[in-house]
Structure 1
Amino acid sequence: MSAQIYIGLMSGTSLDSIDAVAVRFEPSFELIASHSEPIPPAIDNRIRVLFNPGDNEIDQLGNLDLELGELFASAANTLIEHHGLSRDQIIAIGSHGQTIRHRPETHFTLQIGDPNTIAEHTGITTVADFRCRDMAAGGQGAPLVPAFHNGLFRHSQKNRILVNIGGMANLTIIEADPEKPVLGYDTGPGNVLMDSWIQHHQQKNYDADGQWANTGKVIPELLNAMLSLPYFSETPPKSTGREQFNPLWIEQNIRSLASTPEPSDVQATLLELTAITIADAINRHQLDNLQVFLCGGGSHNRQLRARLSTLLQPHYLSDTAELGLDPDWVEAAAFAWLAYRTLNKESGNIPEVTGAKGFRPLGAIYWGS
């Protein structure tokens, strides 16, 4: 059993790359290899076009679905070849795909990156389309990583909250008491607003270490306007995406100001928005003896971490590297785990997290050669 390997593929709302990992789950979890495949700028641009309703969407989506499938397959093949992995030992690939729409209010979600193409180009059984079954059972289809977090990071004496800061930010609440249910939900924006603002003004993909945000000052009126969004006060289960948090939303809130703000001040405000909405969600649970661990790209933003550290005092704050898994690879490992669960006919969701009517096996299986 120890020779059985699963590959996880993840492309998030930040569009920074496709992350690929090879892992084992038996006899215990082990990260064997990892690889990050850049998304070519031309494909990145076409994905961003599809984020918003437009013309000729069906043809655009169909073509991009196949091209992303090839790119996901390339990431898996490169991982295998660069690390000398045996394909005979790889049981399956779990591919999240690229989210194009997430409309939990209408029970609709769409991820592209054709799994038929992945299975064909790698020869390996591929499990994909993880979110739709949960939605069919009345759930939000997200977040799905809390079940993996619970399996890997639970502590018998410490309460723990895992915070994934990708394009969106989501929490997993794991109390030490095994009788308490695991909870999880999207708190709101992670990197998505900061990334889009710096891309517009400085043509950079992200604000490294929050350096640009650190040069600005928080605009209280803008921050308060953004915090008044009803989503932040809604009770879970809840999930969100670019449909809500996007450049248009930023501009709408800026137009409510008496004067045009400095771009750096807006960036500082967006960072503060992310920090406050994460910290408020954590503090709302009023847990003692709490450890908070970050993962995802936002865990590297030093300014964001500093604000979270202040807002979360006296709670302990670190990242998942301390728990044995690099924060960059947690989500990809989670989708390898979901594929593992699916092929073993086990559930992948947590009803208390997503709101589904019960536990469900997730994903469709596309057999390899």
Structure 2
Amino acid sequence: MKRAAKYIIGVMSGTSLDGIDIAYVKFNQTAANDFQILNAITIPYGKEWKSALKEGFHLSGEKLVKLDADYGIYLGKTILKFIKENNIEKVDLIASHGHTIFHNPTENYTFQIGNGPQITAITNIKTICNFRVQDVALGGQGAPLVPVGDELLFSEYDYCLNLGGFSNISFKENNQRIAFDICPVNIVLNHYVAALNLEYDNKGAMASEGNIEINLLNKLNSLSFYDEAKPKSLGYEFVSETIFPIIDKFNLSINDILRTFVEHIALQISKKIESNSEKTMLVTGGGAFNTFLMERLQSHTKTPLIIPDENIINFKEALVFALLGFLKDEGKINCLKSVTGASKDHSSGVVYEVESSKFPFSR
């Protein structure tokens, strides 16, 4: 008997603070890679939300709890608006990543805001969230989580590279899916162009006009993180406490900072892959639109870079979180120990069901 398709909304907010990615996905359940992105949108953050999320790293106590609740309400209303505007009639569940405020697995914690009960209450749809916490509790990095999607949805590629706030890569090694964060990307590039009231460096045009500061490049490339054994992951802490202070000591023009950091990104990624014209690497995330970054990366490797259609570039992470929600709802593994370093494969995520209107006991 053919199983019914499931319709899931995946929601993602990345560290680059571009906005909320929402993907409405149909999983046909006939094969692992049998899916369709039926509708998708990126809703840019306004100045207030962008500022609030960026400052969340510095909050604690009641203010942080309030931000979690407020952001959950905002997500719930945004998702509900997406459903209504697109006349979506069937949603089996919402899978929401939330927005990462803290990620420090070496200290046994990771924290994503976006209160799940608020989303469920507003949309009246089952919501699954907090996908990273259980993995950290099991000794894992809590990241990256997207490689489960690489394994099930994009296995025809030798490498799957995502260029978002950070770069992460996944590939098969000894018949196991291996994945790890490589280096910061848009979280750094966007930070410096923000001083010019720009959201990002369009196609890498500013970086292409800059010059490499070799001493800065050498300093960045010598950071100990790059020699650490995998699995490993990065968070805003690494950028704010390590990357920004190093760059700011050099007092460079923004173009030169961008040029140097683009070269740093390209070099670090190229070191993690086999340079082989027979292999292929799928590239997704906002960084795939950075033409200059793509040129610099391709110059360092013979492995062809495959840029998919824009729906996959823009919404791969939202798609994969929809998949993680689907797997959790089915009671199937959605976190791989070979990827995160957890003590075991497991099914992660916290489920918030729609509350029944019936009182369970007779009166």
TM-score > 0.5, shorter chain as reference:
yes
Residue 31 of structure 1: CA displacement?
Answer: 0.9
Change (3 A) 1:247 1:208: farther
Aligned to 1:250: 244
Aligned to 1:267: 258
CA deviation map 1:136-157 (0-9, x unaligned): 11110000010111100112xx
Aligned to 1:205: 199
Secondary structure at the counterpart of residue 320 of structure 1: coil
Aligned to 2:342: 356
**Map of 1:153-172 to 2, 5 A cutoff?**
153-155=154-156, 160-172=158-170
Aligned to 2:269: 278
- Runs of 4 or more, structure 1, over 6 Å off, are none
Identical positions, percent: 30
Residue 282 of structure 1: CA displacement?
Answer: 1.9
Does residue 291 in structure 1 map to residue 274 in structure 2?
no
User: Of 44, 48, 62, which residue of structure 1 is paired with 2:50?
Assistant: 44
Does residue 130 in structure 1 map to residue 131 in structure 2?
yes
CA deviation map 1:73-102 (0-9, x unaligned): 13321221222111xx31110000000000
**Map of 1:81-230 to 2, 5 A cutoff?**
81-86=84-89, 89-155=90-156, 160-174=158-172, 180-200=175-195, 202-230=196-224
Q: Any stretches of 5+ residues in structure 2 without a counterpart? A: 356-363
Residue 317 of structure 1: CA displacement?
Answer: 0.8
Contact 2:247/2:257 (<8 A) preserved: no
Does residue 64 in structure 1 map to residue 67 in structure 2?
yes
- Give the alignment's TM-score, normalised by structure 2: 0.92
Does residue 304 in structure 1 map to residue 298 in structure 2?
no
- The AA in structure 2 aligned to 1:19 is D
Give the Cα–Cα distance (whole angstroms) in 2 for the partners of residues 297 and 2 of structure 1.
33
Give the Cα–Cα distance (whole angstroms) in 1 for the partners of residues 9 and 276 of structure 2.
35
Contact 1:68/1:113 (<8 A) preserved: yes
CA deviation map 1:108-130 (0-9, x unaligned): 10000111110011000000000
- The AA in structure 1 aligned to 2:297 is L
Moved more, 269-278 or 94-103: 269-278
Contact 2:10/2:318 (<8 A) preserved: yes
Give the number of equivalent residue pairs.
349
Secondary structure at the counterpart of residue 243 of structure 1: helix
CA deviation map 1:25-72 (0-9, x unaligned): 223211111122222211211111122x45xx2222122112211221
Aligned to 1:14: 16
Change (3 A) 1:337 1:353: same
Contact 1:139/1:357 (<8 A) preserved: yes
CA deviation map 1:290-318 (0-9, x unaligned): 101111111111111111111122x1111
User: Of 73, 77, 87, which residue of structure 2 is paired with 1:74?
Assistant: 77
Does residue 319 in structure 1 map to residue 307 in structure 2?
yes
Contact 2:13/2:20 (<8 A) preserved: yes
- The AA in structure 2 aligned to 1:182 is R
Contact 1:183/1:352 (<8 A) preserved: yes
Secondary structure at the counterpart of residue 32 of structure 1: strand
Cα RMSD of the aligned pairs, angstroms, is 1.8
- The AA in structure 2 aligned to 1:69 is G
Give the Cα–Cα distance (whole angstroms) in 1 for the partners of residues 140 and 245 of structure 2.
31
Aligned to 1:338: 324
- The AA in structure 2 aligned to 1:90 is V
Give the Cα–Cα distance (whole angstroms) in 2 for the partners of residues 205 and 248 of structure 1.
23
Give the Cα–Cα distance (whole angstroms) in 2 for the partners of residues 297 and 252 of structure 1.
25
Secondary structure at the counterpart of residue 229 of structure 2: coil
Contact 1:144/1:349 (<8 A) preserved: yes
Give the Cα–Cα distance (whole angstroms) in 2 for the partners of residues 228 and 291 of structure 1.
28
Give the Cα–Cα distance (whole angstroms) in 1 for the partners of residues 266 and 297 of structure 2.
6
Give the Cα–Cα distance (whole angstroms) in 1 for the partners of residues 39 and 197 of structure 2.
32
Secondary structure at the counterpart of residue 280 of structure 2: strand
Secondary structure at the counterpart of residue 37 of structure 1: strand
Contact 2:277/2:304 (<8 A) preserved: no
Give the Cα–Cα distance (whole angstroms) in 2 for the partners of residues 288 and 345 of structure 1.
39
Secondary structure at the counterpart of residue 329 of structure 1: helix
Residue 266 of structure 1: CA displacement?
Answer: 1.2
- The AA in structure 2 aligned to 1:32 is L
Moved more, 241-250 or 218-227: 241-250
Give the Cα–Cα distance (whole angstroms) in 1 for the partners of residues 80 and 20 of structure 2.
13
Give the Cα–Cα distance (whole angstroms) in 2 for the partners of residues 251 and 203 of structure 1.
21
CA deviation map 1:244-288 (0-9, x unaligned): 013863333442x5xx433311111111111211121223xx667
Give the Cα–Cα distance (whole angstroms) in 1 for the partners of residues 239 and 37 of structure 2.
33
CA deviation map 1:163-213 (0-9, x unaligned): 1111011001136xxx6111100001121111111112x121211111111
- Give the alignment's TM-score, normalised by structure 1: 0.90
Does residue 241 in structure 1 map to residue 227 in structure 2?
no
